[in-house]
Structure 1
Amino acid sequence: MEKNVVKPYNQLYILSDNNNNCNLVFLAKSLNINVSQLSASEFQAQQSIPSNTLIGIQVKSVISGKSSFNNLLQAVKKCGSVFLFNAERGTIDTSLAINTGLRGIIYRDEQLDRVLSALSNMMKGQLYYSRNELSSFVDRTLAPEESEECLITSEKFLLLTKQEKRITKLIAEGARNKEIADQLNISTHTVKAHISTILRKTQSRNRIELLKITQMDAVSPQTYHA
């Protein structure tokens, strides 16, 4: 049985320079999440951030300007668990966001039920990216020869067969064993056997660690657009 390494968060900080509570705060409260709203200056004045805290950064009000990428990296380094919200689609390099360690991106035009789902899942320790975003990221990670912007620094994934790479891609998209079996026209027993081999070859203990390894082993251009 795989060991569960997902660690939930006990509190949520929302970074926004708006004087009034932003909608995300109200939505978090509706889910009974322990949430606090801070300005950028109030956040920087914090002596320490508990490890069980998730930080939501409002894109336009907090990380606008030329130093946005450096400020984002500093926030991630300080608390380790950050996501962006109120982001405009097409303005953020998703691969770089994943590599940086962002837990997810909530876009400005996201439907209400999706925002609630994003908050709930991220507080449980899960990532929040669309299947297309994760699929694109894993494609670039597992097939660096097809992209000049991505480079595998580890030999772990070079050991995978084409079928194992397909399964790894589907795992990263959030597909369950039965969904993988249906898409690849193989049995669930075969899927389990492939996953066991993938975990062994990549030295991963479970699916979550496998995805983390794909993130750590990929290097993207140092550009950020917000």
Structure 2
Amino acid sequence: MLQQSAFIKTNLKSSACSYNYQDILRTLRALFNTINMDDALPNVEQRSQYTLYLIDGATHNWHNLVPADLIALARQYNVVIFNVERKAICEKNLLLNHVNGVFYKSTPSEEVFKGLVKINAGELWFTRMILSQAFSDILVATSSFSSLHEGIELKQDDYQHLTKRERSVIHLIAQGASNSVIADKLNISDHTVKTHLYSAFKKTSSRNRVELANWAQRYISVLLPMSKQ
């Protein structure tokens, strides 16, 4: 029998007493041989040992923007968001970014169990309305190009003028980093960060940080691949 293991990324102090959180734990114990939890994800080289990742959303607001590190994780592994408020996320955005399902703080325990069983069997756990909306968005996007390769060629001119430093800034913006954090990570001044940021705004036709981050999440995986950690 295949050994099933789950990893929970959570802030134990803020979530341990949540009713939904306890439902998740009880269900996981019935479905998985091994359950580990921490407030940080495992190192990249250790992630393949887990068959499901559960991300505690209690302290996050991902309605307008899904973090780049969460998208990267969901592209490779089964990912579920749980213990989250409805107003804090957009289900369609999560689905389009490869998340497998969502459980809210108000989700009944029987629905949590049913959903985790389905997800563990390879299915998605979203409402039909969300699935329909996401499918419609995909159809609209794909109809804009005669083929994926032609689409990339068509769009390439929009991105080829980005400098290496501007790409680095965009990657960090997509992860929600502030100007000071970007300056520290890239070892440059705050003023230089602003210069690169404004240049990136212009080259990507973005009006603000949220639009730039959304641009990155739409195109960066195809045209500006992130280096492996």
Matches within 5 A, 1:138-153: 138-142=135-139, 144=140, 150=141, 152=143
Q: Secondary structure at the match of 1:60?
A: coil
Post-superposition Cα deviations, 1:113-144, rounded to whole Å, max 9, x if no partner, equal 111111111111111111111122223333x3
Query: Is the Cα–Cα contact under 8 Å of residues 5 and 52 in structure 2 kept in the other structure?
Result: yes
How far off its partner does 1:9 sit?
A: 8.1
TM-score by length of 2: 0.51
Aligned position for 1:109: 106
Letter in 2 for 1:26: R
Aligned position for 2:35: 36
TM-score by length of 1: 0.52
Q: Summarize the Cα distance change of 1:127–1:92 in structure 2 as closer, same or farther, 3 Å threshold.
A: same
How far off its partner does 1:47 sit?
A: 3.4
Q: Summarize the Cα distance change of 1:138–1:48 in structure 2 as closer, same or farther, 3 Å threshold.
A: same
Runs ≥4 in structure 1, deviation > 4 angstroms? 63-68, 153-156
Give the unaligned 5+ runs of structure 1: 1-7, 145-149, 157-220
Distance 1:121 1:9 in 2: 17
Post-superposition Cα deviations, 1:59-102, rounded to whole Å, max 9, x if no partner, equal 134x569996123124335x522111112224322232122111
Query: Is the Cα–Cα contact under 8 Å of residues 96 and 134 in structure 2 kept in the other structure?
Result: no
Post-superposition Cα deviations, 1:14-48, rounded to whole Å, max 9, x if no partner, equal 2112054841112221x34224131133x334632
Distance 1:86 1:126 in 2: 20
Distance 1:12 1:46 in 2: 15
Aligned position for 1:15: 9
Letter in 2 for 1:75: L
Aligned position for 1:92: 89
Decide which of 120, 124, 133 is 1:123's aligned counterpart: 120
Relative CO higher for 1 or 2, CA cutoff 8 Å, sep ≥ 6? 1
Post-superposition Cα deviations, 1:148-183, rounded to whole Å, max 9, x if no partner, equal xx5545558xxxxxxxxxxxxxxxxxxxxxxxxxxx
Query: Is the Cα–Cα contact under 8 Å of residues 10 and 123 in structure 1 kept in the other structure?
Result: no
Distance 1:55 1:93 in 2: 19
Q: Secondary structure at the match of 1:127?
A: coil
Query: Is the Cα–Cα contact under 8 Å of residues 9 and 54 in structure 1 kept in the other structure?
Result: no
Letter in 1 for 2:9: L
How many aligned residue pairs are there?
143
State the percentage of identical aligned residues. 15
Query: Is the Cα–Cα contact under 8 Å of residues 9 and 125 in structure 1 kept in the other structure?
Result: no
Distance 1:128 1:141 in 2: 18
Distance 1:110 1:45 in 2: 31
Distance 1:128 1:101 in 2: 12
Q: Give the aligned CA root-mean-square deviation in angstroms.
A: 3.4
Please identify which structure carries the higher helix content.
Answer: 2
Distance 2:27 2:107 in 1: 13
Aligned position for 1:222: 214
Distance 1:9 1:105 in 2: 24
Distance 1:154 1:120 in 2: 37
